[in-house]
C-alpha cells in the first residue's frame, strides 16, 4: 500500500487525523514547494496552495515543478503534479491577507517573502501558523532551527518581524523556522539543500501540530 509506512509511523489514528486535516500553504517557491511535496507524500490530501508567480529559469535550482515549466503558472503546474491539491492563483498583499478566510484550515504555512503579508497573516491566524524566515544566502542546513518568533535569533527577517510586531503591540506567540547562519553571499544566492530543508522542517512541524492537536474543527 502506498501509505503503509506512513500508517506504521503515525499509527492508524494519527494517519487518519493527517488525512482529514486541511493545510494552507502561502507561497510555493523554494521552501513552499518542498512543504507541499513532503505533506502530500505523508498522506495529507486537503492542501490548498496560493501563489501568483510563474516559473523562471533561475527557479530551476531549487523549486519543485520548475523543470520543463519555465513561463508556466506555479500553482497550476503543482496542481497537476499533485492531484487533488487546490490552487489559488492570486497576488498576496496586505489587503488580501486581511480579508482571506483562514478559518477552514488547521495549519497555515507562510512561505512568502513579503514582510507586510507575513505580519498580516501572523495577526490573523497566529495560533495555527508556521512561518518560514530567510532561507536564501545560506549553505549549512544544520543551522536551521524551530522556535517561537520571540526566541529566534541570527535572522534579519525574523528581527524585522519581531520589531514590527512590537511596534504594533502584538505579543502573541507563533512558530517560526529560521537559520542562525549568517549570509555567505550578497544578492539572491540560494542552495536547495537549505531551502528544501526549510520546507522539510516546516512539513515536520505541520505534522506534529496536527497530531498533537486536541481540538478538531467545529
CATH number at residue 74: 3.40.50.720
Per the DSSP assignment, residues forming a β-bridge with 50 are: 26, 88
Neighbour count for residue 181 (Cβ, 10 Å): 19
Closest to 87 measured CA to CA, from 37, 51, 131: 51
Domain annotation covers residue 5? no
pLDDT digits (tens, 9 = 90+) for 99-138: 999 999 999 999 999 999 999 999 999 999 999 999 999 9
Task: Classify residue 6: in a domain, yes or no.
Answer: no
In-domain check, residue 207: yes
Residues 71-84: what's their mean pLDDT?
98
pLDDT tens digits along 2-23: 999 999 999 999 999 999 999 9
Q: Exposed, middle or buried by CB within 10 Å (0-12, 13-18, 19+), for 209?
A: middle
In a domain, 13, yes or no: no
- Report CA-CA distances (Å) from 133 to 31, 84, 139, 194: 10, 28, 15, 12
Cα-based torsion angle of the residue sequence 98, 144, 37, 13 in order, rounded to the nearest 10 degrees: -90
- Phi-psi label, residue 159: left if phi above 0, alpha if psi -120 to 50, beta otherwise: alpha
- Is residue 147, in this structure, part of any structural domain at all? yes
- How many domains are there within the chain? 1
122 Cβ contact partners less than 8 Å away, ≥ 6 residues apart: 110, 129, 131, 149, 161, 165, 170, 172, 174
Q: Which residues contact 167 (CB under 8 A, 6 or more apart)?
A: none
User: Which pLDDT belongs to residue 193?
Assistant: 98
Task: Tell me the per-residue pLDDT of 150-204, one tens digit each, with 9 for 90 and over.
Answer: 999 999 999 999 999 999 999 999 999 999 999 999 999 999 999 999 999 999 9
CA dist 203 and 34 (Å) reads: 8
33: in domain: yes
What are the grid coordinates assigned to 87, written together? 490552487
Residue 181 sits in which domain range? 22-212
Cα separation, 155 vs 157, whole angstroms:
6
CA atoms within 13 A on the CB side of 153: 1
pTM: 0.96
Domain-embedded: residue 16: no
Q: Is the pLDDT of residue 214 over 80?
A: no
Domain assignment present for residue 12? The answer is no
Amino acid at each position: 500500500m502506498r501509505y503503509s509506512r506512513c500508517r506504521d509511523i503515525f499509527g492508524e489514528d494519527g494517519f487518519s487525523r493527517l488525512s482529514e486535516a486541511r493545510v494552507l500553504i502561502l507561497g510555493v517557491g523554494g521552501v513552499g514547494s518542498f512543504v507541499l511535496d513532503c505533506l502530500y507524500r505523508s498522506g495529507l490530501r486537503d492542501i490548498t496552495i496560493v501563489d501568483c508567480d510563474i516559473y523562471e529559469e533561475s527557479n530551476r535550482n531549487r523549486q519543485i515543478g520548475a523543470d520543463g515549466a519555465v513561463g508556466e503558472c506555479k500553482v497550476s503546474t503543482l496542481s497537476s503534479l499533485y492531484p487533488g491539491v487546490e490552487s489559488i492563483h492570486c497576488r498576496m498583499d496586505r489587503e488580501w491577507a486581511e480579508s482571506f478566510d483562514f478559518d477552514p484550515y488547521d495549519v497555515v504555512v507562510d512561505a512568502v517573502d513579503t514582510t507586510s503579508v507575513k505580519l498580516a497573516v501572523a495577526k490573523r491566524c497566529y495560533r495555527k501558523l508556521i512561518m518560514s524566515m530567510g532561507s536564501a544566502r545560506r549553505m549549512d542546513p544544520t543551522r536551521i532551527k524551530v522556535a517561537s518568533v520571540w526566541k529566534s535569533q541570527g535572522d534579519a527577517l525574523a528581527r524585522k518581524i519581531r520589531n514590527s510586531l512590537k511596534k504594533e503591540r502584538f505579543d502573541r506567540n507563533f512558530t517560526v523556522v529560521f537559520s542562525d547562519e549568517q549570509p555567505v553571499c550578497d544578492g539572491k544566492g540560494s542552495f536547495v539543500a537549505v531551502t528544501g530543508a526549510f520546507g522539510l522542517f516546516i512539513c515536520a512541524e505541520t505534522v506534529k501540530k496536527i497530531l498533537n492537536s486536541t481540538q478538531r474543527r467545529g
